[in-house]
Each structure stands twice: as C-alpha cells, then as structure tokens.
Structure 1
Amino acid sequence: MFQMVLGLACSSALRAEPTPQDNIKQAIQAGQLEQALKLLQQERQIAPKDVPLRFLEGVIQAQQGQTDKAIETFKKLTESNPDLSEAYNNLGVLYAAKGKLEESRSNLEKALQTHPSYAAAHRNLSDVQSQLAKQTYAKALQIDSKVKNSAPQLTLLGSIDPQKRAPVYAQVQTTSAAPPVGASSIESAKPAPAASTSPSVPAAVVTPTTPSTPAAQVAAAKPSTPAAAEAPKAEPKKEDAQQKHAKTDQTDVRNAVSAWAKAWSQKDMARYLGAYASSFSPPDKMSRAKWESDRQIRIVSKKTINVEINALKIEVSGNKASARFQQVYESDNFKGNSHKTLEMIKQGDRWLITRETVN
C-alpha cells in the first residue's frame, strides 16, 4: 500500500465571487469533507453529468477512504472522457494504494498518452516503476518486499486543471532502479552451515617405545580413555538448544515491534500495515479494509509522528508471543502515552501482529 499526498490544485483565474465548484474545493482543502459532499450533491442535482463535479466526487471519496467507490467514479469518467488525464492519474494512485502496481502503471501510462507533459503523472509513474523494480529485485533474492521496500508518495490530483499540463520536463523526477542490496542482506538469505554431528574425539596416538620398557607396554595395552570421557559432550543438551531458540525468538519479536514503531513514525504505510497478520482482528468488529483505510487517513494526514517504545516485556510460547510496553506517541499537536499489548504469531521467519489492545 502507498502513501497518498492529496494535493488540491486551485484555479489561477481570479473571480470576484467564488463559484459553487470553488466552494466545494475550499471545503475539501479545509478538511470539511461532509460539507463538501453536501454542496456537491446539491450541484449534481442541477448538472448530474457535469465532468468537474463528478471528478470532485471521486476526490472526496478518496479522501474519505472509500477507495473502491473512488475507483469506480474515476473509471466511469475515463469511459465517457477518454482524454481526461487527471482521472487516469488518480486511478493510478488509488490502485497503487491497494497494492495493484500493474493496474497503477497501466493507468498512469494512459494519463501520459493523453497528455505526455503532465508532471504529476510523470512523477507517479516513475515511483511506481521504481517500486516494481525493487519488488522484482527482492523476489530474485527471496526477500520480502513488504519489509525491505518503503512505499513512494503519489500525488492524487484534486481538480481538472489544463494549465497543469504545460510542458514541465525540468520538474520530472527520475527514480533509479532498486538500490543494490548490501552484503549483509545477501548473506542473511544464505542457509546457515549445518552443524557437525560427529563427536569431537581425538584419535588415539601411539608413541613408539622400546619393548624393554614395561610402562610403555602397559600404556599401549590400556584402552583409549579420552574418547570415552569426551563422548557425552558431543551432542548439545536439549535444554541448551531450547534456551538458545527462545532467546532468538525474543530478539526477533523485539526487532519486529521496533520495526512496527519505526514504520509508524516514518508514515511508511506499506511496512506499517505489513506488520499485521492476515488474521489480525481490528477493534470494534471493523472490517480489515475499513480499518486500513482509517489508519491510512489518520497517519498520512499528520505532518510528523514519533512513536517510542519503553519498558518492553516479551513472552514467547511456541509460535505465539505477547509484547507489553509503554507507548509514547507524539504528532503535530498531540502527545500522550499508554500501555499497549501486541499479540503476535510467527509466520515463516516473521512475527506478525494478530491483536492490538490498550491497557
């Protein structure tokens, strides 16, 4: 899933009195989405087929987290207006938000086919192509792309503005292919060498002696005792192996919690949502899709977020674990702390969140 920057383009023409569309745009800019929707519905009754109004309806739906409805709205717009590059661009952004990168790339390419110099579409397509390249590279190294790659920021256009289609090639940002993975990442993908199971027993060494030495004859006749004495140390104790495995799980859970808090702080929605298992139970019996949309809006809308984890206590039992800690959260104009518990499950090599509760 991708972060979306919801930029609303204002018309450059100066008017003595704002039009109904201007009022709708201003309400969207102010975050008054319900008011914007109310004004929009009033205007749609007068002009139900008006293209700019239908476009603004899709923008409102996208900002409300109604991604599927917004996709349907922009789809219908492109069917009736195949040269509407802004609608193709927004379809590309919304598909990227759902993790459908191929559909995203296809629509962004259509946006540039209709207006090749659209800077926003150029930047978005560049970011999507870069993300696809990273996923291909990560797949070749058998790395989980949700963990290793951060999602780019794509621009959702807020209005239809032909002036934005002027040539602006100097503004187009090019993104290089996926950066090379460090040696440590490649080495971590290699299988660990198998531990030797043969007992570490020194071979018997016979020192030649003269036959006339009785002590030497007695020593040669005695069985080799070092092998018998060291044989029990050849196999590690089960208790030691279990303790080592438990410590490894503790470390992995600690790293997973830390990565989750870091992704939240960086507003990296791909890694943040990727920290939750498919069996995760959202609060208040909310659907997973609705929960993800709400989290997307709440997190991306903040200018800055900082999440700190203190007094972390971890309990591991088999493939399940619980992490209890004090969470210190700080955003634009809010700071607070709470005691939180994450219930986690091990899937493959990863520890994922199945339940999140505040104590």
Structure 2
Amino acid sequence: MASRHPLIPAVAALLAVATSLPAGADVEEARRLLDEGRAGQALRVLDEQLEGSPQDAEARFLRGLALSRTGRREEAIAVFQKLTRDYPQLPEPYNNLAVIYAQQGDYEQARDALEAALATHPSYATAHENLGDIYAALASASYNRALMLEEGNSTARDKLRVMENLSAGAPAARPTLSGGPASGGSTGSTPAAAASAPDGDGASTSSPTPAGSAPTASSQPAQASGDALATRERISAAIYDWAQAWQNQNIAAYLGAYAPDFTPAGGLSRDAWESQRRDRVGAPDTITVRIRDPEIQIVDAERARVVFTQEYDSDSYSDVTNKVLDMRRVGDRWLIIRETTR
C-alpha cells in the first residue's frame, strides 16, 4: 500500500519564552534556498553559519532538513536527535525524525518519535494526524503479512482493502519544514521563531507563532504551503532513491524509477535502452553516484524538472556532468520521463 505521511509541521516555535529575535541573514538565506528546492546550496550556507555559531539552534534545525533533502538521512537523524536532547520541550525535531523513519520504512520508530512529540504537546493536531497515518501503515503491513501466511484469509483481505481505501482518500502529505527553532543566545533563552514557506505561487510567507502556543497547520495558506513543499520533498526523495539504486546496482529499482512512457535519448527503443542500462549498471565492481545542488522546478501538479550536477565514479570510469531529469507524477510516485545531459 502506498501511504501518505504528512510528518512535518507547517510552522515551528520555541516555547516558554519571553522575547523574540530576528533570524540571522545567513539563516534567512538558507531558508529561502530550501524553499526554492536548492538544498545543497542551503547546506553550504548553514555549514558556514554554524562554524561561527555552533549552537545556533535554528541553523542546526534547518541543516537537518537540508541533509534530509539531499539524501543524507543518517546525518539528518543525528542532527534531529541532538536537538531533541537539547530542546526536549519541542515537538518539531521529533516530527522530522518521524518523516525520515517513515521514508526508510521504519514505522515503529516513526510511531515512537510522534508519540514523543505528542508527549510534549498533546494538543498538536498535525502529530495526531501523522500518527494515524503511521498506525494505518503498520496495520496494512500486518494484514499483508497475515495474507502471506494464510492466503485464504478473507477477513485480513477485507481489512487490507479498507486500509487501501483510507489511504486513497487521505489529504496530500506535507513532508517538509522550512523553518525551525531560533538560536537561544548565550543566556540560554529560547526566542520564538517564524517559519517561512512558499505559497501556492512559489512566493514566501511568514507566520510567527506566539510563545507558548502549539503549532498548527489548519489555515488554508499553510495547507497550500505544505502541499507545495510536500511535492518538492517527494521529488527530492525520488531522485535520491534513483541514485541510490544505481549506486547499489539494484537494476530493478533503478529501472523502476523511469515512467512507462520514458523516452530514451539518441533514438533508442525502450528495450534497447534497458538492455544497455542493465549492462552498464551491472558491469562495474563498484559504483558511486553523487547528486550535487539539485534545483527542483515545478511545472504543474503533474510535471517537474530537476537540474543538478552528477558525479559518477566506478572502478573503470569517472565523470562529472550536468544532468536534467524531466519527471511526471504517476499515482503517488514521481517518475523520470526524459533524461538529458547538458
């Protein structure tokens, strides 16, 4: 079952505070780059900021997001785990952990992270919704296992069908976050932060959350922002999963990243192209594929273009190219329909 998991809130705040300070210029620039889908560039800005201010909580928070969007999920997990230790009263880092765990298919850890978020803020509606999605994914997995063990189990099959119908009717996920906790400064105070997210036209909006209030995602602008950011996150995840499958020489997963109507370059037929790719992906002893500075350009609700620098290394060949992937949404997935090199 393809599940949707809106696991990151639309706004972020530090609680129990008395003052509010503006975010630094570098942090604002990093947030803007993240909103534009340029996570690699945002990461460089944040790394420079943290060299001079290693305890800047907002920069740390955004860095975790940038790491996640560039496929460096284990590093992102480490960042958010450290934030939960430094700011145990905040639900946002737990939510970010949950979305990464869900992307990895580890729904038990995602559930635990969301329950920790709700322990800090029981009225956090977004986390309740997210937790419901995780429970649905866990239930679906259990029903599937029951059917594998007992194929004629009609009760389990009916329940699985109900879960699939629920998933089909779920709202679009919002698996990204453009703002984070602000730096507390040398006194240890924790000023409130305003989250910034692009609206439906790609513009940026800011929604300060008053100190002491719980995050919310109920407003229409926030929903529009969340939907646009969710699309970027899905596309980003699809690109990094494609690169990972290539690097792992997982031919089935690699070819599965291409849409049925993918048009190979050079006039090759689809069958000839697949045969060629099977040989080239499977032949080397080792492959390393790195994606640098991906820029996601949303064309419309069904189409997007991703431009990035691709670094390829194998035991017999290395190159660096500028790659363009045109993508189309097929159900819950974003698949490649055209691949070109500039």
Q: So what's the TM-score if we normalise by structure 1?
A: 0.45
Which structure has more relative contact order (CA 8 Å, sep 6+)? It is 2
